[in-house]
């Protein structure tokens, strides 16, 4: 497998997932997702939003795995992790009517409970199912534990990149002036205010991801999304961010101040440096 030195794992790990097993798991998971529906328009809208998000994350994951020349078995790990990464969101929204983990449950860990309960991965080799579960566990965390095995880090990075790319897609659509039907669930019920929390902008200016616990306003959330570029891992991901002009679109929706200008500048330079 031809990968850049910083992108590969050299552990002798050789996963195997048959096409039949992959298809069986995929069908079962899609059936599970399709079982959720509600007469409540707000709930139904967000259940569909989450299923559409999962589908697009699968697409981005495939793009990234192809760029890294993953073999068919590695690609199946990537795609199953993408399919399952937000499986906890459906029951979460039915119960709590929010995607805000702080106000409900950690959706990644909740999803792992559902995966074990449903037994979707039980027929896979333990080393393979662990890779998938680790990617799911890590996808919404601030950082990937450095103690994780190299192969666990690798699949986690692919999922994290794919997830962030689609969240950025969703964000640009949500914040567009053409969007007349804003979704409070997407913005986690955060305060509609022109204010920006200084600790959040300071993190971005320092080239770091802000802590979600510091988010108070929708503008804070936009800065967190701008800072996603500091946590991307693969050249193809930076190329997508650059080509789709995600940072420019986010910047245009934010109030203009020295802190915002500097945060945008730092984020933009970071992306450009990854593409040199």
pLDDT tens, residue by residue, 16-32 = 999 999 999 999 999 99
Residue 169 lies in a domain: no
Residue 180 lies in a domain: no
Q: Are residues 150 and 207 in the same domain?
A: no
Q: Are residues 101 and 207 in the same domain?
A: no
Residue 184 lies in a domain: no
pLDDT value for 180: 87
Q: How far is CA 45 from CA 49, 68, 108, in A?
A: 6, 35, 21
pLDDT value for 212: 87
Q: Are residues 154 and 202 in the same domain?
A: no
Q: Are residues 25 and 156 in the same domain?
A: yes
pLDDT band of residue 4 (cuts 50, 70, 90) is: very low
pLDDT value for 11: 60
* CB contact at 8 A, 21 and 123: yes
pLDDT value for 2: 34
Q: Are residues 139 and 237 in the same domain?
A: no
Question: Tokens for 41?
Answer: 């328009």
Q: Are residues 207 and 71 in the same domain?
A: no
Mean pLDDT of the region 65-90: 96
Residue 3 lies in a domain: no
- Boundary of a domain, candidates 163, 178, 204: 163
Residue 249 lies in a domain: yes
Q: Examine the pLDDT at 203 and tell me if it is beyond 80.
A: yes
Q: Examine the pLDDT at 5 and tell me if it is beyond 80.
A: no
Query: How many domains are contained in the chain?
Result: 2
Sign of CA dihedral 45, 200, 60, 9: negative
Q: Are residues 108 and 238 in the same domain?
A: no
pLDDT in tens, 214-253: 999 999 999 999 999 999 999 999 999 999 999 999 999 9
Mean pLDDT of the region 73-89: 97
Q: Examine the pLDDT at 1 and tell me if it is beyond 50.
A: no
Residue 9 lies in a domain: no
CATH number for the domain spanning 96: value is 1.10.3210.10
pLDDT value for 8: 59
Q: Are residues 119 and 232 in the same domain?
A: no
DSSP state of 209: P
The model's pTM: 0.93
Q: Are residues 122 and 252 in the same domain?
A: no
Segments forming the whole domain that contains residue 222: 190-274
pLDDT in tens, 34-72: 999 999 999 999 999 999 999 999 999 999 999 999 999
Q: Are residues 50 and 151 in the same domain?
A: yes
pLDDT band of residue 14 (cuts 50, 70, 90) is: confident
Q: For the chain, give the mean pLDDT.
A: 94
Q: Are residues 144 and 61 in the same domain?
A: yes
Q: Angle, nearest 10°, between helix axes 218-226 and 150-175?
A: 130
């Amino acid at each position: 497998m031809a990968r850049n030195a910083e992108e590969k794992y050299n552990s002798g790990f050789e996963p195997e997932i048959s096409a039949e097993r992959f298809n069986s798991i995929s069908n079962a998971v899609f059936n599970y997702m399709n079982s959720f529906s509600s007469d409540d328009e707000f709930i139904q809208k967000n259940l569909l939003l989450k299923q559409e998000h999962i589908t697009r994350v699968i697409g981005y994951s495939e793009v990234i795995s192809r760029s890294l020349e993953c073999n068919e078995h590695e690609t199946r790990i990537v795609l199953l992790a993408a399919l399952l990464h937000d499986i906890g969101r459906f029951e979460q929204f039915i119960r709590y009517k929010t995607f805000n983990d702080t106000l409900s449950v950690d959706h990644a860990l909740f999803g792992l409970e559902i995966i074990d309960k449903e037994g979707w991965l039980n027929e896979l080799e333990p080393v393979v199912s662990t890779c998938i579960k680790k990617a799911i566990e890590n996808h919404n965390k601030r950082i990937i534990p450095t103690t994780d095995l190299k192969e666990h880090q690798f699949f986690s990075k692919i999922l994290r990149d794919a997830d962030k790319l689609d969240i950025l897609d969703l964000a640009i659509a949500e914040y567009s002036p053409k969007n007349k039907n804003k979704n409070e669930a997407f913005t986690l019920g955060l305060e509609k205010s022109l204010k920006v929390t200084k600790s959040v902008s300071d993190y971005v200016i320092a080239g770091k991801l802000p802590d979600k616990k510091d988010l108070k306003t929708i503008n804070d959330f936009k800065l967190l999304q701008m800072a996603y570029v500091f946590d991307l891992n693969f050249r193809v991901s930076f190329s997508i961010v650059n080509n789709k002009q995600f940072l420019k679109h986010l910047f245009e929706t934010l109030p203009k101040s020295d802190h915002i200008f500097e945060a945008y500048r730092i984020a933009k330079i970071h992306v450009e440096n990854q593409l040199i």
